[in-house]
Structure 1
Amino acid sequence: MKINDPILLALIATGFTWFMTALGAAMVFFFKEINKRVLNMMLGFAAGIMVAASFWSLLAPAIEMAEKSSLPAWLVAAIGFLSGAAFLWLADRILPHAHFFAKEGEVEGIPTNWRRSILLVFSITLHNIPEGLAVGVAFGAAANSMSETGLLAAVAVALGIGIQNFPEGAAVSIPLRREGVSRMKSFMYGQASGLVEPIAGVIGAAMVTSMEAILPYALAFAAGAMLYVVVEELIPESQSGGEHESADLSTIGFIIGFAIMMILDVALG
């Protein structure tokens, strides 16, 4: 099967993931508050999807493709994986941002006088980069394999990330509203956090289709970057609050998210 324009497909797919972010952010027009337990469960759900996608959609295909390389497959996967995590670690140290669970005035990255609302959006935007990259690289891999299975696997990645972007959009906009930002501004900030995904998706698809040799590295890179986000931000944030029941709900959300992404990937890919 010939995929004529994987870059266009990546743009359409990441357009869908952005739309789901915007749809979630629109919940701010209906709710001013979000229960902490519900928020924790949504964040755990997003983490579960990202962990499952990192293995089934990215790492496993990277290892399979790397077996054709002159280097050992494990080395190719490890180089890409560690590079992705290092990239996010560096971005986390440089770009100013704040976590939702952070206390007032706690800012990461270079010092700045930006408002907390902007810093919160930057935090979500930062971890949307590997999500968009994962979708773009998946469609680039589908173009490389020229198989229906590869295309369905890429669609599974887009669906999974789109599903987890809905609660993620709400998790951005509603807390901003609680901090006094207007409903419209909260929505605009929430949907804007997902705009980076189409950009990263197009870049990822363009890179792997023009430089086929980097494909297994790119897949593993996206996996490393996504898992860095999960461990550094989503899981700690989903477990915050100090209540045992709240932590249990975030764990349940993680399991459900992981299972949904696993089913999507195995059924479609």
Structure 2
Amino acid sequence: MIENRPILAVLTHLVLILGVVIVVFPVYLAFVASTHGGGDFLRGLVPLLPGPNLFANYEFMLTEGLTTAGAPPLWIMLLNSLIIALVIATGKIFISILSAYAIVFFKFPFRMLAFWVIFITLMLPVEVRIMPTFKVVADLGLLNSYAGLTIPLIASATATFLFRQFFLTVPDELMEAARVDGAGPMKFFRDILLPLSRTNIAALFVILFIYGWVQYLWPLLVTTDSRYYTIVMGIKRLAATADAEPQWHLVMTAVMLAMLPPVLVVILMQRLFVKGLVETEK
């Protein structure tokens, strides 16, 4: 039995508030910096109150961008990052759920070997196999294309493993009942397994969307055309330019805009995301 002690409750809330302040304060400083002009940072100090250039800075970065950094307007890079993140997230989920379905519900030779081969690829991320992957993409003529940016990142052993573990909890009686009702493999998958996997799909989508959104090394290698730059690449270019010309207010504007899509995805899918993590419906 847990005792109700007011002092412990106050201490717990103080620790939580301190943790929130530590996490939120840098974000607040970035937002404040994005509302000021470049001259406000010449002293090396960041103001603590918002400035008057909020709309001017955001409009300038979205429509024009910092051309001296060699990057296009921010809306182009945001769109590229959104396309890449959506393709990677949906592609990983689509391939992984089909792979797990085949491994669990179809009896074919060496199916466990196939699963372990997929699982072993966890030890070979893109950073480890980056040179041969780059050569394959270059030989196929996929440089400076959305296909080259996304296809090498679509396969996911983690998602396959998680779907497999969930499918193993599905009762055999459910599959037998569907078979008696005349449901074929795809109908069983579409009408029964997909609805049951809704929370898992939502949780994985949030994680994989953020994974695709923050990609930097691979897009940096396969893109030389500014039309395919991602927002993370753009921020790096802006920050490098800021070393010579102190325009940190524009860098922080790009940072705040880059934060919005992942934050919106987490907020909109929070309920399903939490359910998928704590497995309340399994």
Q: TM-score, normalised by structure 2?
A: 0.32
Q: TM-score, normalised by structure 1?
A: 0.33
